[in-house]
Amino acid sequence: MFSPSIAWLAAAAAVLLIVPPATAHKGGILVQQKDGRLVTGYDDESTGAQTIGDRAFGLLFPSSLANDVPSFLSLANAPAGSGPLPVGTELHWDFLPIHVGGQTANLMYWDAATDVVSFASSAPGVDFTLYTEGFSDSATVDGSPAMVRGKRLGAISANNLALHAHRWFFMESSTSVPEGVYLAAMQVRAEGFASSEPFYVAAATSAVPSTRLDDVAVPWVAEHADTLLLAGDYNFDGAVDAADLGIWRQQYGTEGAFAIELGSADGNYDGTVDAADYTVWRDAMQTIGIAATPAPEPACLSVVAIAAAVCVQRRKRGG
């Protein structure tokens, strides 16, 4: 697989900063807080307007398949509906697996040949990477059904523009990157705050008309933002079953970041694995016959797990 050196990345970034691509979108992903939870929004650099609640963002790659827009921003004078983050707060990101069309993958692809949106798992060998400041570190998604722990976005300063982080997105492939729109799900997290709800970056290659990205792909993602992650699928295997309850049991009572190899049972993204996350799993299990019950104590979970496994097996035998 092609893996650019740090020197190559820095040189490419320098060229693009001197001659910015004409197709680059001038906007940013706002990160603020509301009631102890990180929230995202949109900063429109062309109008100066900011909105809170946006979770779908567009990225239009030039032919180099490298872009640092959208950037990540935070304001001390927070937009309506949000509050500022404390000075010194360090923001990190993670990539999350998307579930659509019966497939689970951390990078989805649509050829954008028509206005009918149809995402599927990205072809093997195509990588979507976000680099930290100075290209010192990175995190990559490749279409695997897995969560990928991200890196540090930056820290909140005492300025009114408390964060202005241009971090470079790159597309890479062992051969060539197919033209189209790629979709990645992300969250931002910070100590002392519940993680943000999932938000999405729809990244189009240079051959895709900007109108197809702006007027078709991004609105579609915004419309489906609440359903693109499979609720209760805590081990990211594309199914909600007893194994996910096992993840919840292991992580019950924990806070903050969780071991990626074990998945994440923070189903409501509030930063703590507790009874509310059991409820997320239980509600998702309704379709396979688990009766609605109060959240069990951890000592009783083995019984619930056995019941869930039996239910799954009955469903499989019943077709």
pLDDT tens across 55-110, in order? 999 999 999 999 999 999 999 999 999 999 999 999 999 999 999 999 999 999 99
Residues 111 and 101 sit within 8 Å (Cβ to Cβ): no
The per-residue pLDDT for range 111-157, each reduced to its tens digit, is: 999 999 999 999 999 999 999 999 999 999 999 998 898 999 999 99
Give the mean pLDDT of 157-180. 97
Q: How far is the CA of 206 from the CAs of 41, 178, 212, in angstroms?
A: 25, 11, 12
> Is the pLDDT score of 256 beyond 80?
no
Q: Which domains does the chain have, with CATH numbers?
A: 27-229 (no CATH), 232-318 (1.10.1330.10)
Tell which residue, 85, 95, 94, has the closest CA to residue 155: 85
Q: Tell me the pTM.
A: 0.84
Tell me how many degrees the CA angle 48-52-53 measures, rounded to the nearest 5: 140
pLDDT band per the 50, 70, 90 thresholds, residue 260: low
Bridging pattern class, strands 169-173 and 126-131: antiparallel
What is the percent of the chain where pLDDT is above 90?
A: 71
Q: Please state, rounded to an integer, the average pLDDT across all residues of the chain.
A: 86
Q: Six-digit token pair at 17?
A: 């900063």
Phi (first) and psi of residue 46, to 5 degrees? -75, -30
Coarse DSSP helix, strand, coil percentages of the chain, rounded to the nearest 5 percent? 25, 30, 45
Query: In the predicted model, is pLDDT for residue 314 greater than 70?
Result: no
Q: What pLDDT shows up at residue 286? A: 84
Output the pLDDT for position 1: 43
- The fraction of the chain above a pLDDT of 70, given in percent, is 80
Least confident of 29-33, 125-129, 191-195: 191-195
Residue 19: which residues within 8 A CB-CB, separation 6 or more? none
